[in-house]
Amino acid sequence: MKHESKQAEKQAVLAAACAMVAAARTAPKGRGLDYLETWILEGDEKDAFAGQMRACGKELGAAFFERDAKNIEQAQALVLFGIADAQYGLNCGYCGKATCAEAADDGVACVFAATDLGIAIGSAVSVAANWRVDNRVMYSAGKTAIMSGVFSKEMKAAFGVPLSVSGKSPFFDRG
């Protein structure tokens, strides 16, 4: 059987995306509590999402969303990572509030949730690097995912990671 390069590259990107989601899920979490949600977008859904990024960028007055939307259109897939709005119940004060209840009342994110998201994304992008798949962590994609309701529940923070296999990474020398 003969395999065309572009199709094999697309399959490699999707396999890497699935492995990234698995790595994020199994990454260490504070108190062992899992509030992570992930999605993989490709094809028309990914391209429609890039259009939503442009709209969100205009709404927020953030011109760099346009640049990032172009990158997502150039990518073969986009992996989204979000962390739910949750408190871990330690009353540790790391967030600047005396108790978790006070933090929740004031809408302050739990430091453990933010840390869990960062560890999950770090684990995921290391998988992409090991698979030799170009990637870039993007706040703009995560913000768009929150604003457009991609996630199944309310997320406190999110990031997106577009993935590409090409002769040159589209995520650098972006202007």
List the helix and strand counts (H, then E) for the chain: 6, 4
Pick the CATH number of 5-164 from 3.40.109.10, 3.90.25.10, 3.50.50.60, 3.40.50.720: 3.40.109.10
Model-level pTM?
A: 0.94
Structure token pair of residue 154: 């309310």
Tell the residue number behind the tokens 């589209």, with chain if given. 170
> How many angstroms separate the CA atoms of 48 and 73, rounded?
9
Q: What angle do CA 164, 170, 173 make, to 5 degrees?
A: 155
| Confidence check: pLDDT of 125 > 70 | yes
Q: What is the pLDDT of residue 94?
A: 94
- Single-letter code of the amino acid located at 127: V
**What proportions of the chain, in percent to the nearest 5, are helix, strand and coil?**
50, 15, 30
| Confidence check: pLDDT of 117 > 70 | yes
Q: What is the pLDDT of residue 86?
A: 84
Q: What is the pLDDT of residue 87?
A: 84
> How many angstroms separate the CA atoms of 71 and 136, rounded?
9
Q: What is the pLDDT of residue 175?
A: 67
Domain locations in the chain? 5-164
